[in-house]
Chains A and B, each alone.
Chain A
Amino acid sequence: MANPLEITDLVYKKNQKKIITDLNLTLKPGKIVALLGENGAGKTTLMRIISGVAKNYQGTVKVAGFAKESERKDHLSFTDGLTGFSHSVKVNEIVKFYQILYHDFSLKQFEQLRKFMNLDSDLRLSEMSKGMKEKLIIALTFSRKTDLYLLDEPFSGIDAMARKKIIKSIILWKQEKSTILISDHFVNEIAAVLDEVVIIKNKTICMQKSTEEIRADNQTVEDFYESFYQREEEE
């Protein structure tokens, strides 16, 4: 089986400014991986490049062995901010859209997730809090059956209960072989569910390590992550 994600020598520029340089990353099947880095480090950009919505990059990106953008999009599920919908749209209309757009979208799975997240299907986008919206986005993302799930900062600005629900849904609904990449600028709240951390700094990936290996060195994942950014402050 091909690796869910393989990136080689990725370079991305915008307005003549390098945002990502010489980035290489391989993720193995069945892992939960955190993509860590401070705000503006390029986490969202990286996910957008993987998903084929950011353009004009150099290097190769393969998702489940596929390099073509249309096939990549078919083999990954990316948390989208639902910006393509008007505020008055209801949950069940969004679901209809997803059913049409993605052949691997399972309504049964969505209904389970929706009930687990305590979301009402008659709710409108404008009536949702940040946490509810994020829970809906996660439910939609996990209702597809793909090799790679990209969760872009799913925990930013939401309360502890919503966060717990989302983390539990990740554990409950993750398929054995699929890999989940979660971007965040904190790690504490999700450290226990991670297999690996990938740290992005200075426009590239500076570290990829298993969390249990970090703990085996008597270090917390949080301290490990922070040490990379502290070094920079000292320099």
Chain B
Amino acid sequence: MAEFSRLFNRLFKIKAKKLHVLLFFQIIAALACAFFTYYEVINWHIRKNPQNNVGIIPEWAIYFVFLAFFVIFFVYFITPLKSEKFNRSQTWRLAAISDGQFYLDNVLSTFVSFIYFIVLEFVAAIILLFLSYLTDKPVVYFFRDLLKSIQRNLDINVFWIILGTIVLAILSCFFLYFVISFFNFASRAILDFVPANINGAVVKVLHIVIIFGLIWFFFKIQNIFVYKVLLSVIHPTNYGLNFSSSLPFAILANAICDLILLGSNIFLINHFYEATEHK
């Protein structure tokens, strides 16, 4: 267990370090956007844009939040892809830990670094909004109204829906991680298995073909599994649930898929998926 947490810490630090850089660039980019909205440059002279009636700091905050959606979306997809290189690396795989645990470490550190990044985005956004609050009155009124409307609509049902959505989001997050690893592991395992005396370029093409084959096959199976098998067993109406949505079902179906994928990934990395050779 000591090995597990040490490895986790190391992986998390490496992953978080890159996200810090990304956040820094986002803040700078938002500032640059705000600057060029607030001022205009005419004939090499900078002057205040007469059409703009919002202060530069609120502009900055707005651009930051606007960029945040794209950046978080980008991080969500890129981090699991980047993490696959740790699974392939002999340097990492030599750690005195079972491959299954190593894989868990890798996935968990990716997830935690993603959550950590969202928290950082949140904190940065709040700081910027707070600065706007100090400099610009209309912003204050806007948020006061927003909070009031949220308070009015908050009842126990909404709370459960929010909680369920968060759980579902987390499960979907892992689903993406597991699916990416599964395609990586399975395609490699197949590539190591096929009888072949072929050179590098053909191997790459073959690898891509196998991945696409797997993706097609996977979603076929997934569809059948979720809608034919799971739905018939655990349909919400079977249990007379009076929830307005099928959220619990989606959570359960997602959790089962996640577990199956995790199981197969651990099996693949333990028995088939090799670290790359260095010489």
Q: Which residues of A contact B (CB under 8 A)?
A: 14-17, 44, 48, 51-56, 68-71, 73-74, 78, 80-85, 97, 100-103, 152-153
Contact = CB atoms under 8 A, between A and B. Distances in A.
Contacts of B6: 100-101
B273 A84 contact: no
Contacts of A101: 6-7, 10, 94-96
Contacts of A48: 90, 274-275, 277
Interface string B73-113: 00000000000001001111111111101000000000000
B274 A15 contact: no
* Interface size class of chain B, counting residues whose CB lies under 8 Å from the partner chain: 35 or more
27 contacts: A17-B195, A44-B279, A48-B274, A48-B275, A48-B277, A54-B275, A55-B274, A68-B98, A69-B98, A69-B99, A70-B99, A70-B101, A73-B94, A73-B95, A73-B97, A81-B90, A83-B89, A84-B86, A84-B91, A97-B10, A100-B10, A101-B6, A101-B7, A101-B94, A102-B95, A152-B279, A153-B279
Given A15-B193, A48-B274, A83-B91, 11 more contacts: A17-B195, A53-B93, A53-B94, A55-B270, A55-B274, A69-B99, A69-B270, A81-B90, A83-B276, A84-B86, A97-B10
Contacts of A73: 94-97
A53 B196 contact: no
Contacts, number: 90
A157 to B, nearest CB: 10
Contacts of B3: 103
A85 B90 CA distance: 11
Contacts of A16: 193-195
A44 B277 CA distance: 9
Given A15-B195, A55-B271, A97-B10, A102 B96 contact: yes
Nearest to A81: B278
B223 interface: no
B192 interface: yes
A81 B89 CA distance: 10
B39 interface: no
B63 to A, nearest CB: 32
B272 A83 contact: no
A51 B94 contact: yes
Interface string B248-276: 00000000000000000000001111111
B246 interface: no
Contacts of B275: 48, 53-54
Interface of B: 2-3, 6-7, 9-10, 86, 89-99, 101, 192-197, 270-279
A95 to B, nearest CB: 13
Contacts of B97: 70, 73
Contact of B92 (A55, A56, A81, A84): A84
A212 B264 CA distance: 51
A130 B272 CA distance: 32
Contact of A70 (B89, B98, B193, B196): B98
- Give the residue among A52, A102, A153 with the most B Cβ atoms within 10 A: A52
The 6 closest A-B pairs by CB, nearest first: A84-B91, A81-B278, A74-B96, A16-B195, A84-B89, A70-B98
B240 to A, nearest CB: 48
Nearest to B97: A70
B94 A83 contact: no
B10 A84 contact: no
A78 B96 CA distance: 11
